[in-house]
Amino acid sequence: MKANELRKMYVEFFEKRGHKEINSASLLPDNDPSVLFTTAGMHPLVPYLLGEKHPQGKRLVDIQKCVRTCDIDEVGDDTHLTFFEMLGNWSLGDYFKEESITMSYLFLTEYLNIPVERLAVTVFEGNSLVPRDTESAEIWIRNGLKKEQIYFYGRDENWWGPAGKTGPCGPDTEIFYDMGKEKCGENCGPACSCGKYVEIWNNVFMEYNKNEDGTYSELLQKNVDTGMGLERVLTIFNGYKNVYETELFQPIIEKIESLTGVNYTEENKNTFRIISDHMRASTFILGDPKGVTPSNSEQGYILRRLIRRTIRLVKKLGVNSNIICSIAEVIIENYGEIYSELVKNKSFVLEQLEKEYLLFSKTLDSGLKMAERYFSKLEEGNSLSGDLAFKLYDTFGFPIEFTVELASERKINVDIPVFEEKFREHQEKSRKGAAEKFKGGLADNSERTTKLHTATHLLNAALRKVLGNTVYQRGSNINSERLRFDFSFDRKLTKDELEQVEKIVNEAIEKGIDVMCTEETLEEAKAEEAIGVFESKYGEIVKVYAIPGYSKEICGGPHASNTEELKSFKILKEESSSSGVRRIKATIG
Ligand code: SER
């Protein structure tokens, strides 16, 4: 079976049972500061799990692109990935355990024809908050599982969430496929990592919310949140041994073989697999419309880590030129039909990879030499000092995880606590800068600042017109003198570009256009391609300010009522704000 058939079969199965299909959301959660990436299909649904009404109803199904960095050290084995597609179905206060388990069982055994004896499931053994889940166990037995196929575990294995510090969570029942190997010992079971059992599906009975203070409260409704790994199910259905044998990875592996002239073998399989996985994740992160670029903080840092590790592994295969762009091209080709954003943002993806390659390959050789020198003075079991690890980070751009990996290849440790201390001091400085950058908004609502706010919208629109839609607001600050606008873009603007931007804004001012304000749901606003920092929850009413012909933004206001009030617009300065972010200061009238 091909991936597309599985995607289709899954969605149709649940559609037939009253579910409505929703789209995959961005990999960068809209309004969830608790996580860096969308790690499960439930992220975009949090408001609805908490009780808000979803416009599509109480039964939903989707295929969500996910990034999970918690599994990064396992990548290279047969099943763990940093990027994967999650097939998910939800009941928002509708069906519960009986229907959920029965549907999963039916899909696995009758649609995917998995023999029932190859399944094993786990259920929650209970604690002081939630009783032992004998109900789920009984439902499994009624469906045809034997008692021996059901394992009871505690919180570590059978409690899911919240994804961040707070949010919806609950006990779950996880479904595993038995790969047919011998048990590795007496206690071998689904929780064992020997590879006998591979988790394929997780049905969470989301009844609780974890609060800020660590307590749990019952949700307004009992939800079901399930997630199944597409790559894993495809592997099992086709009788493959690992996810890299699927058609989702084969073309990538073949491309790496042809670009490096090295064959994929048992000895180098980890290198090939990590390159394939990391390039897939990097391509999807860069291809996301949010326009994340490699940097030293948050999502940008994870992206940088993935790309830099890849560059080094390519070098390990004996290649010193940039092949990562060609690998990304294969990925875009493979997935472009389903994830059209990859095609749309192809040039951005390739440009950013090329840029990061150039930046890192400049220091990689000298950094590796320097690291070698440090390591040569140490013996196996010794530790590289935190100061030197920080030097490798600061001077040569080696992410700490990268240094740890190099060191561990020589059985050397790294003094992480001291590194972290140094790193924190360094980050504190940039955080202060970032806080300043985001402070923004309106310092006061005087007439002048209100007009400068409208000018900011026009500037944002003009920048997108001249530089393309990868430009996103990264910060805004207004005082009575000027506006200051930070946006994603990775090079200095030319004189000509600045003139064009200024001209567009002045043209809008001269036309004397009325600024319109409407109230809409966030979804309506998004559908109309209103841009903005999406701070509201889905379904909530947002204000949309439109300057017809120029700009449409989700924003709290206030604004000038007509563009002619701005009189004229002038850019005072264009400069770098931080990596991948430019800053413009401008004034009016
Ligand atoms: N949220 C659950 C998980 O990630 C089910 O989707 O496993």
Residue 74 alpha carbon to ligand 1 centre in Å: 19
Show the tokens assigned to 284.
């999807």
Residue found by looking up tokens 């180098």 in the block: 268
User: Does 40 sit in the ligand 1 pocket, CB within 6 Å?
Assistant: yes
Q: Are 223 and 60 in contact (CB under 8 A)?
A: no
Q: Are 41 and 230 in contact (CB under 8 A)?
A: no
Residue 278 assigned ligand-binding role:
no
Among 272-276, 426-430, 525-529, 536-540, which stretch is predicted with the lowest mean pLDDT? Answer: 536-540
User: Does 225 sit in the ligand 1 pocket, CB within 6 Å?
Assistant: yes
pLDDT of 436: 41
Pocket test for ligand 1, best of 61, 64, 204, 206 (most atoms within 8 A of CB): 204
Adjacent-strand bridge partners of 199: 176
3-state secondary structure of 45: helix
Q: Which helix (H) or strand (E) holds 283?
A: helix 269-287
Compare 180 and 474 and report the one with higher pLDDT: 180
Adjacent-strand bridge partners of 60: 20, 90
Residue 87 alpha carbon to ligand 1 centre in Å: 10
User: Does 202 sit in the ligand 1 pocket, CB within 6 Å?
Assistant: yes
- Identify the CA nearest to 120 among candidates 72, 155, 73, 157: 157
pLDDT of 22: 94
Mean pLDDT of the chain: 91
Q: Are 19 and 59 in contact (CB under 8 A)?
A: yes
pLDDT of 388: 94
Residue 54 assigned ligand-binding role:
no
The two beta strands, 581-588 and 483-488, are antiparallel
Q: Are 522 and 550 in contact (CB under 8 A)?
A: no
3-state secondary structure of 335: helix
> What DSSP string describes 101-137?
HHHHHHIIIIIS---GGGEEEEEE---SSS---HHHH
pLDDT of 445: 61
User: Does 42 sit in the ligand 1 pocket, CB within 6 Å?
Assistant: yes
C-alpha distances in Å from residue 287, one per residue of 165, 416, 513 = 28, 33, 35
Residue type, 16: K
Whether 435 shows a pLDDT value over 60: the answer reads: no
Ligand 1: atom nearest CA of 228 is 6
Whether 34 shows a pLDDT value over 80: the answer reads: no
Pocket test for ligand 1, best of 85, 86, 208 (most atoms within 8 A of CB): 86
Q: What is the pLDDT of residues 97-108, one digit of tens each?
A: 999 999 999 999
Ligand 1: atom nearest CA of 174 is 7
3-state secondary structure of 411: coil
Residue 225 alpha carbon to ligand 1 centre in Å: 7
Whether 433 shows a pLDDT value over 60: the answer reads: no
3-state secondary structure of 167: strand
Cα separation, 424 vs 320, in Å, equals 33
Nearest-5° angle of CA 339, CA 277, CA 87?
50
Give residue 565's pLDDT band: very low, low, confident or very high (50, 70, 90).
very high
The values of phi and psi at residue 201, to 5°, are -145, 145
Q: What is the pLDDT of residues 113-167, one digit of tens each?
A: 999 999 999 999 999 888 999 999 999 999 999 999 999 999 999 999 888 788 8
pLDDT of 430: 58
Take atom 6 of ligand 1 and give the residue whose Cα is closest.
Answer: 227
Take atom 4 of ligand 1 and give the residue whose Cα is closest.
Answer: 40
User: Does 204 sit in the ligand 1 pocket, CB within 6 Å?
Assistant: yes
Residue 169 alpha carbon to ligand 1 centre in Å: 10
Q: What is the pLDDT of residues 68-85, one digit of tens each?
A: 988 898 999 999 999 999
10 Å CB burial of residue 342 (0-12, 13-18, 19+) is buried
- Identify the CA nearest to 485 among candidates 441, 550, 546, 443: 441
If one counts every other C-beta atom within 10 angstroms of the C-beta of residue 341, the result is 20
Residue type, 495: K
10 Å CB burial of residue 575 (0-12, 13-18, 19+) is exposed
Cα separation, 458 vs 550, in Å, equals 7
Ligand 1: atom nearest CA of 41 is 6
User: Does 41 sit in the ligand 1 pocket, CB within 6 Å?
Assistant: yes
Q: What is the pLDDT of residues 184-238, one digit of tens each?
A: 999 899 999 899 999 999 999 999 999 888 899 999 899 999 999 999 999 999 9
User: Does 226 sit in the ligand 1 pocket, CB within 6 Å?
Assistant: yes
10 Å CB burial of residue 32 (0-12, 13-18, 19+) is middle
- The DSSP symbol for 25 reads -
Nearest-5° angle of CA 436, CA 543, CA 53?
105
Whether 32 shows a pLDDT value over 80: the answer reads: no
- Identify the CA nearest to 207 among candidates 117, 137, 300, 136: 136
Q: What is the pLDDT of residues 14-25, one digit of tens each?
A: 999 999 999 999
Pocket test for ligand 1, best of 42, 60, 122, 208 (most atoms within 8 A of CB): 42
Residue 302 alpha carbon to ligand 1 centre in Å: 21
C-alpha distances in Å from residue 297, one per residue of 221, 358, 399, 423, 427 = 37, 20, 11, 11, 8
Q: What's the pTM value of the predicted model, to 2 decimals? A: 0.74
Adjacent-strand bridge partners of 90: 60, 225
> What DSSP string describes 353-371?
HHHHHHHHHHHHHHHHHHH
Residue 43 assigned ligand-binding role:
no
Q: What is the pLDDT of residues 519-555, one digit of tens each?
A: 777 777 888 888 876 543 444 667 788 999 999 998 7
Residue 227 alpha carbon to ligand 1 centre in Å: 5
In the chain, what percentage of residues exceed pLDDT 70? 94
Residue 574 alpha carbon to ligand 1 centre in Å: 44
pLDDT of 544: 84
Residue 100 alpha carbon to ligand 1 centre in Å: 14
C-alpha distances in Å from residue 441, one per residue of 168, 322, 452 = 31, 41, 10
Residue type, 269: K
Q: What is the pLDDT of residues 342-398, one digit of tens each?
A: 999 999 999 999 999 999 998 898 899 999 999 999 999 999 999 999 999 988 989
Whether 252 shows a pLDDT value over 50: the answer reads: yes
Q: What is the pLDDT of residues 496-511, one digit of tens each?
A: 999 999 999 999 999 9
Residue 85 alpha carbon to ligand 1 centre in Å: 12
Q: What is the pLDDT of residues 477-492, one digit of tens each?
A: 777 789 999 899 999 9
Give residue 31's pLDDT band: very low, low, confident or very high (50, 70, 90).
low
User: Does 88 sit in the ligand 1 pocket, CB within 6 Å?
Assistant: yes
Residue 20 alpha carbon to ligand 1 centre in Å: 19
